[in-house]
Amino acid sequence: MALETMPFSRALNAGLRRAMEDDAKVLLMGEDIGKLGGVFRITEHLQRDFGEHRVLDTPLAESGIVGTAIGLAMAGFRPVIEIQFDGFVFPAFDQITTQLAKLTNRHEGALSLPIVIRIPYGGHIGAVEHHQESPEAYFTHTPGLRVVSPSTPNDAYWMIQEAIRSNDPVIFMEPKSRYWPKGEVDLEKSALPLHASRVVRQGTDVTLVGHGAMVTTLLQAAALAEGEGTSCEVVDVRSLSPVDYGPILDSARKTGRMVYAQEASGFTSLGSEIAATVMERAFYALEAPVLRVSGYDTPFPPANLEGAFLPDADRILDAVDRSMAY
């Protein structure tokens, strides 16, 4: 096996490079992604190696970027857009939700729009307003979009390639706080398809479920819980729309308890949907109600308050204790 240890950000870069080598129709578009390599350097050296005709620096106009990508996709290209920060996606929201998500249905399947929109999202980096958001629920609520979020460098490497190969538009949510930690990447074979959830830690007492950067926090909580005598199983959702419920339901039926954790606010969120579905489909196997731990229902706070806003291992352990008390 060709295994290499690399940061999440470099794994994304390597995945984009491989996709561009495999298909000349793959184009990258975004603000400062060329010579600069993007604010997080995800596209570093790609313009140098593939040319300005395939790695395009765009104006600061997210709606125009998405609209241009739609036209390019109609002409047979496979555009990959970088949204510089999560909060900057909203100027493009109309193009994404009223055009990109609907055009294939409007053409009764005769038109494909193979567009990937990369969005760095979430907190833990001490950024300012509009630079720390968790907008995934807006897109999972929109039929016609696929939404995924890798949590490891290996998933980043393979999922970006699989997203680019998809003939449907994919919202590719990148947990920006995970850009720097390193992990092992298998450069030869993907372990899972794009839309599959995965058990990342075995346990018997409580199922902990989450996506993106929260998976790392869940693993931290599970390790602490084990020291207190509680065995936690951890499931990484990976695909936010569609959701692969098989491993989630199997785990919930096995442990009888479930806690969902996310950085996003809790009201009408992905955690709300998954909790409701588990309650509907695994009700008779549950020993306690499904509990949720989330960001608060307020705007994302300034950097010095994000530690109080974002769920940490202690808040997850509190939910575990409450679940075990039923």
Phi, psi values for residue 256, rounded to 5° = 80, 0
> How far is Cα 22 from Cα 19, in angstroms, rounded to an integer?
5
Extended beta strands in the chain, E state: 3-7, 26-30, 55-57, 78-82, 116-121, 146-148, 170-175, 182-186, 198-201, 206-210, 232-236, 239-241, 258-265, 291-295
State whether the Cα torsion 158-159-161-165 is positive or negative. Answer: positive
The answer to whether 263 and 271 are in contact (CB under 8 A) is no
The pairing of beta strand 232-236 with beta strand 258-265 = unpaired
- For residue 103, give the amino acid letter: L
Q: Which two tokens stand for residue 95?
A: 């193009």
Catalytic residue among 45, 107, 130, 131: 131
Q: Is 131 a catalytic residue?
A: yes
61 contacts: CB under 8 Å, gap ≥ 6: 91
Q: Which residues are catalytic?
A: 131
